[in-house]
Structures are given as C-alpha cells and as structure tokens.
C-alpha cells in the first residue's frame, strides 16, 4: 500500500485491520483461487478503480502508520501521563 501497489489479499490474521475491502484494497476468502484470479484481472483492467484504491491506501497508510504520526502519538501519551502525575 505504501508503495502504491494495489493490494489483493485474503481475510486472514490481521490483514482486515489494515486493508479495507473495496476502499484500500480487495479482500477475498482464503483458498479461493478463482476469486483471486478475477480480482487480479479486474485490478489490471479497471484503471479508475485501481487508482482510487491506491490513492486511498496511500493516504490511510500515511495517517495511521507514518513514523512522524506515531512519534506525535507517543509524545502526546507521555505528556498526558506527565500531566496526570503533576496534577494527580
């Protein structure tokens, strides 16, 4: 997703927590080779849908997983913890 490659994956493990079906990628049932083949074919031919998913995926990755975002979240967590100790 980060590199702008369309994601076609199966609904296993933590994948559905990262990929939103039809929005940031395509999620399929495990062990469904025909569905996987169809999804790959459709992604290769439907440029508009593919580009829309890639764009949304890159934005979501930047928002959720960007190093700067995580540093800011951790700093905020430490600051709130320090504030509660000072005023608690």
Q: Is 72 left (phi over 0), alpha (psi -120 to 50) or beta?
A: alpha
Within 1-88, where are the H helices? 15-18, 33-45, 47-65, 67-87
pLDDT at 88: 61
Is the pLDDT score of 86 beyond 90? no
- pLDDT, tens only, 39-85: 999 999 999 999 999 999 999 988 888 888 889 889 999 988 888 77
């Amino acid at each position: 997703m980060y590199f702008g490659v369309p994601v076609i994956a199966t609904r296993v493990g933590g994948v559905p927590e990262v990929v939103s079906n039809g929005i940031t990628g395509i999620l399929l049932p495990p062990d469904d080779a025909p569905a996987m083949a169809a999804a790959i074919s459709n992604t290769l031919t439907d440029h508009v849908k593919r580009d829309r998913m890639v764009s949304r995926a890159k934005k979501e990755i930047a928002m959720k997983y960007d190093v700067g975002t995580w540093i800011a979240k951790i700093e905020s967590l430490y600051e709130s913890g320090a504030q509660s100790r000072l005023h608690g």
